Amino acid sequence: MKDFLVLFREADGRKANKHTQEEIQAHRENWAEWFAQWTKAGNLVGGNSLSLEGRMIKGDGDIITDQIHQVGTEIVGGFLLLKAESLEQATAIAASCPIYEFDGYAEIRGMQNQ
């Protein structure tokens, strides 16, 4: 099995939430079911959503700002570590996740030196 990183990008719904509490609750339940399914299958190694608090470090490491990388309203909202036989299998797993319910998208990257 190979290791893959999945980055989730999405509009920051925590700042300008356009979803009802019922939709948010259903979305959370869908995530919980999805995590349980792929953890049980042995493909999900780890992952989490990310807070809005962070720092950017630039230059020679001497420019530090209290912000996260954001393009428009889009942020990296979370990540997963997957184990899969191939990029195709990792893609199929990530394609089944609930990120797309709220117009997010995923980027899958294999770990080097495997």
- Chain-wide mean pLDDT for the chain? 90
Average pLDDT over residues 41-68: 92
Burial level of 75, CB count in 10 A (0-12/13-18/19+)? buried
Give 14's pLDDT tier (boundaries 50, 70, 90): low
Give 22's pLDDT tier (boundaries 50, 70, 90): very high
What residues does 64 pair with on adjacent strands? 57
105 pLDDT more than 80 = yes
67 pLDDT more than 80 = yes
**Helix (H), strand (E), coil (C) string for 71-95:** ECCEEEEEEEEEEECCHHHHHHHHH
CA separation for the pair 60, 94 (Å, rounded): 35
Average pLDDT over residues 41-60: 92
pLDDT at 13 (0 to 100): 60
pLDDT at 110 (0 to 100): 96
pLDDT at 36 (0 to 100): 95
With the C-alpha atoms ordered 23, 28, 29, 31, is the resulting torsion angle positive or negative?
Answer: positive
